[in-house]
Structure 1
Amino acid sequence: MSIIIVMTFLSVILCADTNELPIGFTEGELKNKNLIYDMGTRTDPPIGPVRNIAEYEPMQGVLIRYPFGISTSLIASMSEDVIIYCLVSNNLQNSAYNSMNNGGVNMNNVEFILGSTDSYWTRDYGPWWVVDGNGDVGVVDFTYNRPRPNDNQAPSKVANHLNVPYYSADFVSTGGNYMTDGFGIAASTHIAYTEQDECNTSNEYSVPLPGCSYVDDILEEYYGINTYHVVADPNNEYIDHIDCWGKFLSPTKILIREVPISHSQYDEIEEVADYFSSVLTSEGTPWEVFRINTPNDQPYTNSLILNNKVYVPIMNSSWDGPALEAYEAAMPDYIIEPFTGSWQPTDALHCRVKGIPDLTPMPQFDLGDVNMDNQINVLDIVNVVNYVLGLVDFTTSQSQLSDMNEDGTVNILDIISIVNIITGS
Structure 2
Amino acid sequence: MPSVHAATTMPDETALHDSTWLQWPHPYTYGLSYRNRLDATWVAMTKALVQSEKVRIVAYNNTEKKRIQNLLALAGIPLGSISFLITKTNDVWVRDNGPIFVLDEAGRLQITDWGFNGWGGDTPYTLDNTVPIAAAQQLGLTSTDLNKIVLEGGAFEVDGQGTFLATRSAILEAKRNPNLSQAALEQSLATHLGIRKFIWLDGAPGGKEDITDTHIDGFARFGTPETLVTMSTSDLQYWGISTADINKLATTSNADGVPYQKVILPLTAKNVVTTYGKNLGYKGSYVNYYVGNSVVLVPEYKDSNDSVAKNTLQALYPTRSIVGIDVRNLYANGGMVHCVTQQQPFAN
- TM-score for the superposition, normalised by structure 2: 0.80
3-state DSSP of counterpart to 1:199: coil
Question: Which structure has the greater CA radius of gyration?
Answer: 1
Q: Distance in 1 between matches of 2:320 and 2:75?
A: 25
Range with bigger deviation, 55-64 or 276-285: 276-285
Aligned to 1:329: 315
The superposition leaves residues 214-264 of structure 1 with CA deviations (integer Å, 9 ceiling, x where unpaired) of: 211111122221222221226933222111111111111010122647x85
Contact 1:64 1:353 in 2 (8 A): yes
2:282 is the alignment partner of 1:282: no
Structure 1 residue ranges, 4+ long, deviating more than 6 angstroms after superposition: none
Contact 1:65 1:87 in 2 (8 A): yes
Q: Distance in 2 between matches of 1:229 and 1:333?
A: 29
Aligned to 2:341: 353
Q: Which amino acid aligns with 1:50?
A: T
Q: Post-superposition shift, 1:343?
A: 3.9
Q: Distance in 1 between matches of 2:129 and 2:319?
A: 36
- Give the gaps of 5 or more residues in structure 2: 27-37, 119-123, 271-282
1:196 to 149, 152, 177: 177
Q: Distance in 1 between matches of 2:178 and 2:241?
A: 26
2:190 to 216, 220, 223: 220
Aligned to 2:165: 187
Q: Distance in 2 between matches of 1:321 and 1:315?
A: 10
Q: Distance in 2 between matches of 1:138 and 1:98?
A: 32
Identical columns (%): 18
User: Higher relative contact order at CA 8 Å, sep ≥6: structure 1 or structure 2?
Assistant: 2
2:15 to 40, 57, 61: 57
2:285 to 299, 312, 316: 299
Contact 1:313 1:339 in 2 (8 A): yes
- Give the gaps of 5 or more residues in structure 1: 1-46, 201-211, 363-425
Aligned to 1:385: none
Aligned to 1:119: 91
Q: Distance in 1 between matches of 2:126 and 2:207?
A: 28
Q: Which amino acid aligns with 2:104?
A: D
3-state DSSP of counterpart to 1:196: coil
Range with bigger deviation, 281-290 or 326-335: 326-335
2:43 is the alignment partner of 1:72: yes
Higher strand share: 2
Q: Distance in 2 between matches of 1:265 and 1:317?
A: 18
The superposition leaves residues 326-371 of structure 1 with CA deviations (integer Å, 9 ceiling, x where unpaired) of: 212333333211121324284111111111211x3x2xxxxxxxxx
Q: Distance in 1 between matches of 2:96 and 2:50?
A: 21
Q: Distance in 2 between matches of 1:273 and 1:327?
A: 21
Q: Which amino acid aligns with 1:344?
A: Y
Q: Which amino acid aligns with 1:94?
A: K
Q: Which amino acid aligns with 1:218?
A: S
Q: Distance in 2 between matches of 1:91 and 1:321?
A: 38
Aligned to 2:301: 315
Contact 2:290 2:296 in 1 (8 A): yes
Q: Distance in 2 between matches of 1:151 and 1:299?
A: 25
Aligned to 2:331: 344
Aligned to 2:109: 137
Closer/same/farther in 2, CA of residues 103 and 220 from structure 1, 3 Å limit: same
Q: Which amino acid aligns with 2:66?
A: N
3-state DSSP of counterpart to 2:172: helix
- Aligned ranges for residues 77-116 of structure 1 at < 5 Å? 77-88=48-59, 89-116=61-88
Contact 1:247 1:256 in 2 (8 A): yes
Q: Distance in 2 between matches of 1:327 and 1:273?
A: 21
3-state DSSP of counterpart to 1:249: strand
Considering only aligned residues, what root-mean-square deviation do their CA atoms show, in Å?
Answer: 2.4
Aligned length: 303
The superposition leaves residues 364-418 of structure 1 with CA deviations (integer Å, 9 ceiling, x where unpaired) of: xxxxxxxxxxxxxxxxxxxxxxxxxxxxxxxxxxxxxxxxxxxxxxxxxxxxxxx
Aligned to 1:254: 228
Q: Distance in 1 between matches of 2:43 and 2:105?
A: 38
Contact 2:166 2:201 in 1 (8 A): yes
